[in-house]
Amino acid sequence: MPLTPTGDIVRTAVSANQGVGAFNVIQLEHAEAIVTGAEAAGCPVVLQLSENAVRYHGGLAPVGAAVLAVARAAAVPVAVHLDHATMPELVEEAVGLGFTSVMFDASVLEYEENVRATAEVVARCHAADVWVEAELGEVGGKDGVHAPGARTEPGEAAAFVAATGVDALAVAVGTSHAMTTRDAELDFDLIAELRAAVPVPLVLHGSSGVADEHLTLAVERGMTKINIATHLNQVFTDAVRRSLAENGDLVDTRRYLGPGRAATAAEVARLLPVLNASVLAV
């Protein structure tokens, strides 16, 4: 089916009080696995390429084109999103390639500079009909929105959205990036306060560290876009390790990357219903 705008998927989820799974891609196998899992679950999904993944591949165009092709071949609605971009030039390249949304991350800047830089990116992206997510950093700090103990203040979040015109906001409510254990303690009361104060969908970064039941509760309290990366990498890597351990003579990469892809697809299919996701008409 045609590539689906991220905004269409997210807005439909908001109206149904459901979550949207947004999963990060590193290799092509990740993109294939995520779409296969979404198709099995009958759910829409967002494929994300981070600035770090782009750096790993040496540029956006080749891997971006591949992810867009996988998305366009899917049997369910799929959006393609640039995640944690800190360079406006990379945002412009993604827009030119046809990405349906970007996340511009100026959260390490002081508040006023974050607002200025984000508003400039929003203006350019909206002119191209591209949806923009941003991240609000810790007040007065340089560690960013996911520093230990960081929390987003609802009033400031609402003011930031009004000043920048962003379409979605990543907020700090107790998660942290790159967690390999699922024991993050979310502030569910804060999530509800943010949902009441902020007029755009909320995004939960660092969701790999959140247990299933708390992901469901986070969506019920007001989170919509749920970003998961490290957890799927663990699933993929564990399956690859098992394949290599069982057959030390393997040299054909398909023989061990294939099981990683299959395991990741199964986990995506399992996770999407946890987010209260369902088939969405977009």
Active site residues: 83
Q: Is 107 helix (H, G, I), strand (E, B) or coil?
A: coil
Stated as kind and residue range, the H or E segment containing 188 is: helix 188-197
Residue 136: which of 205, 231, 57 has the closest Cα? Answer: 205
Structure letter (DSSP) for residue 149? T
Rounded CA gap, 28 and 251, in Å?
Answer: 19
Rounded CA gap, 24 and 48, in Å?
Answer: 5
CA torsion, ordered 234, 236, 237, 240, to nearest 10 deg: 160
Q: Residues 112, 113, 114, CA angle at the centre, nearest 5°?
A: 90
